[in-house]
Chains A and B, each alone.
Chain A
Amino acid sequence: MNDRIHPLLIAFAALTFLFLIGPLVIIIGTALSDTSFLTFPPQGLSLRWFENIFEISAFRRTMMTSFTLAVGGTIVSLIIGVPAAYALARYRVELPKFLANVYVLPILVPEIVLGFSLMKSVATGMGFSIWLSLLIGHALLVLPYCVRVTGASLNAFDFSIEEAAVSLGCPRWKAFFSVVLPNVRAGVIAAFILAFITSINDVSISIFLTGPGISTLPIQLLAHMEQFFDPTIAAVSVLLMGVTVAVMAVVEWTLGLTFLTK
């Protein structure tokens, strides 16, 4: 029995951490820099670039758009995805195998292709408004996460439990809400978080679907960067990181983070 850890392994682990954490540290440092250009290590300390985010109305507006879009798109996607995942798990013997893969297509198709085809079909083809096109695009983008993550929970669910509820006099639709859903809750929440983060970070699809007057935060970031190369971008990035950390903290506090990985 040799409990010693090889020094190379320690070095490798340290490097991995460095690559994971390093960029984040650089971004935070850059955001705090007092200069009007991106630089690291920061020269002088200032929060003015954070203030700047909220002074630029385009950022305020697109932040709201991105947020409502992420929540709305995820909810639409869950409304479609959870019943689909339920059917795929419940009838996995009866249903053809390829059906489960259909729901993963939005991940397999290059996002830029998906974005372009959505623009051609939904936005210009069917003449939907920009907002509705974006909502449809984001719902479609996050659908694979909703189906697969809730599906993982549902596949581990013993459907005899649902049958037990039915045998005790509970109609099937009611049994879904009173017995199935409470027991796959963790999967649905995990799907929501993954979908939310995916949606709020999306560029490829949004860039085709945004238009006059309506944009999302990542698109606005790109537009801003073309004109100003100042630490505002870093500050926005830090803010997004903060939101993610806050979401994780809430999850940890209410459910325990382990449920995301199991």
Chain B
Amino acid sequence: MENPQIPRPRPRNLVLLGCILLVLLVIGAEALRWTRNAHAAAKPSLSAPGAAGPVTLTELSTTHIPAPHGMPSAHASTLTPLPGNRMLAFWWAGSRESGPDVKVFASTWANGAWSAPWVVASRESLGAELGYGVRRIGNPVAWTDRNGKIHLYVVATGLGGWAAARIAHIVSQDGGASFHVRRVLPTSPLFNTSALVRTAPLALNDGGWWLPVYFEIGNKYPMLMAFDADGNPTSLARIGQSTSTLQPAIVAVSQTEVRAVMRDDSDQRRMQHASSVDGGASWQDLPALDLPNHNTSMAALRLPGGQFLMLHNHAADDASARSVLRLSISQDMRSWRTVADVAKGKVGDEFSYPTMQLVGDELHITYTWQRQAIAHHRYRITPGGTI
């Protein structure tokens, strides 16, 4: 009687079959993801048009945001609006810059007053959620999305100084009362280090936003990370070719043209400038502006009437790099006129790291006051006048 034998698959055939399955898995996963992601890049959003022409700025109040108890050092404020003409401010405070006790604090602006500050991020809270250590905490940058979620980007360093910085993306769904880590943004192949934030995001027409980022190990250069309306990153690109500029302040000139003014770390000591005419896809370095910049940060925004405001340090003969904080205005982002010196002190004083936010018809300005507190100025913007 014939002995029937069941044919056994050869090992080589099994390997081939397994390989085909793996490749099909890769192709399937990539195809699925690609079909979900296929959408056009968003364009910068222009603020709602207002009356064009000169405006008047009337100072309404000057104050300091209440400082957390026992925290003598404060720096790097950021503002974001809340519904009902309210506003949130974030900044870091601690015993000293880079100190282990530095934390990010928040305070709410409502009914003409600031609330008591509360902690929103520390190296302990970030480390516990990330699953690995954070050595020091730095600049925060805030954004409120169209669903009311508050996205806070916090500089959190790895092993080393600011050159080892990473950017933690934390999100609040309860108006800033509590935050949870969404992720650390991937920005560099060098252990994901040396990426920082400082300047305010720019709104896009699809509800997303651009987050200005910068790199600073040795060479310094600006970058831009785009987010969709849900706060998920969609792209990352470098701004220009410069290797000595950082902390880009980005303003939309039109739906296709965007300008970035940048802090200058070179011997030129002028405010640096770059432009994109294809909605931020590519950037060209422009000649430096005729404004001094001795390695200090600035803030810029577009008014509803189309003018541009910039808050920057003005280093004159009788001033040091950060002892004068000046508000300037421009029609074209090239020629700037002085509106006022928001803060002016003696040589060695520091009024730095400014931020601006439009809330209704009010312009809010915050900046670092002598590295000890966050100052807050409030102006009313009215059409007509000489500015």
A binds B: no
- Which positions in B face A, CB cutoff 8 Å? none
